[in-house]
Amino acid sequence: MDRWSGRLASMEYPDYSAEIQEIRDNGITPELLNRIIRRHQGCMRHMQQLYGRYRTEADKVPIFTREPRFKDEGDLEAESAINNQVNNDFFSEIIDVEVGFFAGKPANYTYGDDYQAEEETGGEEAVEEASKALSDFVKRNNMFDIDMETTKFAAICGYSGRLFYIDPEGNERVMATPPYETIILSETEMTEPEFAVRYYQYLDLNDQQIWKAEFYDNSTIQYYEGQLDGLAFVKKKPHLYDYCPLQGIPKNRELIGDAEKVLALIDDYDSNYSDNSNDIEGFANAYMVFKNCKVDTNTMATANVTGVIGIDVDDPDSPYDVSYLTKNIDGTFVNSHLDRAEDNIYRFSKTPNLNDPEFTAVSGMALKMKMTSLETKTGMFEAKQLSADTYMFKLLASSFSKKKVPFDPLQCSVKYNRNFPTDFLNEAQAVQALTAAGLPKQIAFKALSMIDDVDEVMRLIETEQDDIPDLEDEETARLSQEEKTGEVND
């Protein structure tokens, strides 16, 4: 079994500084594109290995490829050796916990509505138009799903790709791209690409494996096709944005996935757990011993099946015996080792053990303290995600401007909502304490995790205090009444 022994230099994301400069000077060529892809192969295979492990593919999880530690010899087949391959899927749990915590609730995409937004956008009507354009984009692309997919890929592989395109109806669309198909060429951050490459394999109508590649710059897409190291130019077309539309979203600056640092611990846990399973299934803790007895293979096979054995002895007067040679297994030591490995897996991956009885028994501040490590990890990713969103809004603005839609990317904002257990009682008490201390209610209400839009809450409070019906509610009631009576007011 090939256990994880650490990240090698060949697995690192390449430095493409020389290639970037060459593209700036002389443009992209098939030879240069093939070089860029070739240098990405080690990183690609490493990420495919990690993603295959998340999918629990048979050739990607080390325990599934393990050979028996002890093989039978002589006339017995080697395949008869007991070889349990038990996969304790900590890897996927580490990923899924973070995805659920960070992206398990939809993020809030908003466009500014204050005087500054009106001034920068072009007035109140322009703000409404820009806000609608952003809202339509979020709904049309189901950004909830896009955010979950990019978070998942980044947590597994260290970064994710996000490709923007214009659909046949002329709408701005976005899709998550696997990182092992995505190469970002940038001298600053992945979130701000200067050039990018997407390459992938597919089966043609003759069932032949063909590679396709797409090269993106700030105005066009160039398509290539063929075999690796032999990709040839096919066609070129504009992508209708003013910037490179394929960006990367890194998990962290080092591009390290969440579970990479504990892969050796997971492999050790799987190996020891499987060995214990072998002992239990094969009764390896007890061996039958024959003294002065004639025992052939058929007799032993019968004993294994029925538990009863009949034997012949050479000399009835000589001492003979059938007994068990037992192995004293220290269960406390084995369980202690597995428990320590499990604790270290959760500790070093910064993942809370949701099955821990102590975890389920705490609440309030104690619960938040137990979630601190996960919050720290996701906070680092959120910073990268916000940088990527800033570039996304700039990209959308370049497309909206062609449709004469006013849109200032700096007036857009995103709030990611943690999927954290809510303690309403403690939060309510905290708000009461803040207001009693003299803080404005608008500030105090921000402490409530259930509230996403504090301004809307303040408006509703003011409406209730003044006993003024909300205009939207009043209009809805009027239209409903007209439908019932069949009256239509011109």
What angle separates helix 30-54 from helix 90-103, to the nearest 10 degrees?
100
Q: What is the reported pTM?
A: 0.81
Reading the chain (490 residues) residue by residue, the pLDDT tens digits are 567 767 888 899 999 999 999 999 999 999 999 999 999 999 999 999 999 999 999 999 999 988 876 555 544 445 557 788 889 999 999 999 999 999 999 999 999 988 999 999 999 999 999 999 999 999 999 999 999 999 999 999 999 999 999 999 999 999 999 999 999 999 999 999 999 999 999 998 888 899 999 999 999 999 999 998 899 999 999 999 999 999 999 999 999 999 999 999 999 999 988 888 877 766 555 667 777 777 777 777 777 666 667 666 666 666 667 777 666 666 688 889 898 999 999 999 999 888 877 766 666 667 777 788 999 999 999 999 999 999 999 999 999 999 999 999 999 999 998 887 666 677 778 888 888 888 787 787 777 777 767 777 788 887 777 665 555 555 555 656 665 565 544 4
Question: So what's the pLDDT on residue 457?
Answer: 79
Question: So what's the pLDDT on residue 485?
Answer: 60
Rounded distance, CA 336 to CA 339, Å? 5
Rounded distance, CA 352 to CA 41, Å? 34
Q: What is the 3-state secondary structure (H, E, C) of the chain?
A: CCCCCCCCHHHCCCCCHHHHHHHHHHCCCHHHHHHHHHHHHHHHHHHHHHHHHHCCCCCCCHHHHCCCCCCCCCCCCHHHCCCCCCCCCHHHHHHHHHHHHHHCCCCEEEECCCHHHHHHHCCHHHHHHHHHHHHHHHHHHCHHHHHHHHHHHHHHHCEEEEEEEECCCCCEEEEEECHHHEEEECCCCCCCCCEEEEEEEEECCCCCEEEEEEEECCCEEEEEEECCCCCEEEEEEECCCCCCCEEEEECCCCCCCCCHHHHHHHHHHHHHHHHHHHHHHHCCCEEEEEECEECCHHHHHHHHHHCCCCCEECCCCCCCEEEEEECCCCHHHHHHHHHHHHHHHHHHCCCCCCCCHHHHHCCHHHHHHHCHHHHHHHHHHHHHHHHHHHHHHHHHHHHHHHCCCCCCHHHEEEECCCCCCCCHHHHHHHHHHHHHCCCCHHHHHHHCCCCCCHHHHHHHHHHHHHCCCCHHHHHHHHHHHHHHHCCCCC
Whole-angstrom Cα Rg for the chain: 32
Question: So what's the pLDDT on residue 75?
Answer: 42
Question: So what's the pLDDT on residue 490?
Answer: 44
What contacts 84, CB < 8 A, 6 or more positions away?
A: 274, 277, 278, 281
